[in-house]
Chains A and B, each alone.
Chain A
Amino acid sequence: DQQVKQNSPSLSVQEGRISILNCDYTNSMFDYFLWYKKYPAEGPTFLISISSIKDKNEDGRFTVFLNKSAKHLSLHIVPSQPGDSAVYFCAAYKRSQGNLIFGKGTKLSVKP
């Protein structure tokens, strides 16, 4: 049973527009949520995180929103750039377990 779900395997966006990547989770006990970005033939790289006690975290063009009642988080990229084209993984962390649980990823394509 998947605890972290990314239901959209792919997303295509025009350069300059907003990209919204979604993630749902089932366990209300997670302490942190993280987004990782992965280019082909490379390992995932950390992008942005949010604590479970917050509802928004912003870093430049990237903003993560957390809706705890809906067990849903989203990553907004504004404006989207062709270099943002990659696979984005949502991950959740519970301090008592000390492990990241990943979703299956969403492949973002930003077209010039």
Chain B
Amino acid sequence: EAGVVQSPRYKIIEKKQPVAFWCNPISGHNTLYWYRQNLGQGPELLIRYENEEAVDDSQLPKDRFSAERLKGVDSTLKIQPAELGDSAVYLCASSLTTAWDTEAFFGQGTRLTVV
């Protein structure tokens, strides 16, 4: 079974440029998360989707970040314009939400460097 797939793996852009990340979750997983991991820190939630609905975007900097999950499957995360402080690893995760299964499966992440 394929895991969570993210692309690109690495991205280097100049500040003020736009950038987009793509995530394909595990088939059948209705919950999708975008996390950001800064160097030396744990992952922090940016946005969580239940199917196509964003149910928690309280930590998403909405002035420059946007996300969408069309048809409740793939998702894209966009930053426009990027700032130096956005350099981080962006992780996508998915889970099958049930009462007893809280495990989230992560993709390999996209390492963003803003110069």
Within 8 A of A (CB), among B18-72: 31, 33, 40-45, 48, 50, 55-56
Collect the chain A residues with CB atoms within 8 Å of residue B56's CB.
Answer: 97-99
In chain A, what residue has the closest Cβ to B43?
A102
Q: Whole-angstrom distance between the alpha carbons of A45 and B105 in the complex? A: 7
Sort chain B's interface into a size bin: 20 to 34
Count of CB-CB pairs between chains A and B under 8 Å: 61
Collect the chain A residues with CB atoms within 8 Å of residue B97's CB.
Answer: 98
In whole Å, how far is A68's beta carbon from the nearest beta carbon of chain B?
17
Q: Whole-angstrom distance between the alpha carbons of A99 and B48 in the complex? A: 8
In whole Å, how far is B109's beta carbon from the nearest beta carbon of chain A?
5
Encode contact with A along B77-115: 1 for CB under 8 Å, 0 otherwise: 000000000000001010001010011111111010000
Q: A99-B45, A99-B48, A105-B42 are in contact. Are A46 and B31 (CB under 8 A)?
A: no
Q: Whole-angstrom distance between the alpha carbons of A16 and B93 in the complex? A: 33
Within 8 A of B (CB), among A28-77: 31-32, 34, 36, 41-46, 49
Contact B108 A49 (CB under 8 A): no
Give chain A's interface residues, CB within 8 Å of chain B. Answer: 4, 6, 9, 31-32, 34, 36, 41-46, 49, 89, 91, 93, 95, 97-105
Give chain B's interface residues, CB within 8 Å of chain A. Answer: 4, 31, 33, 40-45, 48, 50, 55-56, 91, 93, 97, 99, 102-109, 111
Would you list 29 pairs from A and B whose C-beta atoms are within 8 A, ordered by A residue? A6-B42, A31-B102, A32-B102, A41-B108, A41-B111, A42-B109, A43-B91, A43-B107, A43-B108, A44-B43, A46-B104, A46-B105, A49-B102, A89-B42, A89-B43, A93-B102, A97-B56, A98-B56, A98-B97, A99-B33, A100-B33, A100-B43, A101-B45, A102-B42, A102-B44, A103-B42, A104-B41, A104-B42, A105-B41
